[in-house]
């Protein structure tokens, strides 16, 4: 088996918990709407907009690649229906995006990434819209591949291969670390990488592996990943 030269990471629920981040960002967005465009806030709700985003995503697969464009489209609809200037949507999106990038990193993330980058090339591969520069950890990665800019999403093999190419490694020389059994583990393995399932104990509900998914490693945090890498090289 090839020596691992690169470690690729999922972001949401792997390096930070995403549910509280999204809840806070949506609440701050609605506070902004109530203050600046109450006519919009009176017509919509967080749950209603979430349902509308799901309906749009189901009807137009392009939105599965760009969640920011999806949220923007739903806000445009809401502003237009309320008779408000849709040009203000960019301001609303700025409020949401700023909060979306204020993430509480799990305690192991910064020290472990700092340690790993001395021995491996590191990349992030995500279907989300996080901005690693805004979060403050972009300097820890050698490459970043995001579905919305790349043009396809996990579990498509192409997005994993793009990250490997950026790091100048072959897929069999890389391991992908993520929390989703199908998108991250099965997707990476089918693309020729090894895969570590990140099953963080801090997250609820408790997660289990579905039948047919067998990760190369199972880790509760990045320190356990480092241990696995030391023992499997």
119 and 58 belong to one structural domain:
no
The model's pLDDT over 3-41, given as tens digits with 9 standing for 90+, comes to: 999 999 999 999 999 999 999 999 999 999 999 999 999
221: domain CATH number is 3.40.50.1000
Tell me how many domains the chain contains: 2
Domain containing 115 equals: 6-17+104-231
Q: Do 80 and 192 fall into the same domain?
A: no
Let me know the angle formed at the C-alpha of 41 by 40 and 43, rounded to the nearest 5 degrees.
65
Each residue's pLDDT tens digit, 140-187: 999 999 999 999 999 999 999 999 999 999 999 999 999 999 999 999
Residue 1 lies in a domain: no
* 43 plus 154 within the same structural domain: no
- Give the domain-ending residue among 82, 100, 118: 100
List b or e across 194-221, with b for residues whose CB sees 16 or more CB atoms inside 10 angstroms. Answer: bbbbbbbeeeeeebeeeeeeebbbebeb
């Amino acid at each position: 088996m090839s020596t691992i030269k690169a470690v690729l990471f999922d972001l949401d629920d792997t390096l930070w918990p995403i549910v509280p981040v999204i809840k806070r960002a949506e609440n701050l967005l609605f506070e902004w709407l109530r203050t600046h465009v109450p006519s919009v806030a009176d017509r919509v709700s967080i749950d209603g907009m979430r349902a509308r985003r799901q309906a749009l995503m189901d009807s137009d697969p392009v939105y599965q690649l760009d969640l920011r464009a999806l949220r923007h489209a739903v806000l445009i609809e809401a502003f237009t229906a309320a008779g408000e200037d849709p040009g203000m949507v960019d301001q609303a999106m700025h409020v949401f995006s700023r909060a979306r990038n204020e993430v509480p990193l799990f305690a192991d993330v910064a020290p472990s990434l700092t340690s790993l980058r001395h021995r491996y090339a590191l990349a992030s591969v995500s279907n989300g819209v996080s901005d690693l520069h805004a979060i403050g950890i972009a300097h820890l990665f050698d490459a970043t591949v995001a579905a919305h800019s790349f043009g396809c999403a996990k579990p498509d093999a192409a997005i994993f291969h793009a990250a490997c190419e950026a790091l100048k490694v072959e897929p069999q020389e890389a391991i992908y670390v993520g929390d989703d059994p199908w998108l991250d583990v099965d997707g990476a393995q089918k693309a020729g990488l090894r895969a570590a399932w990140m099953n963080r104990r801090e997250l609820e509900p408790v997660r289990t592996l579905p039948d047919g998914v067998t990760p190369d490693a199972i880790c509760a945090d990045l320190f356990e990943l480092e241990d696995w890498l030391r023992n499997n090289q």
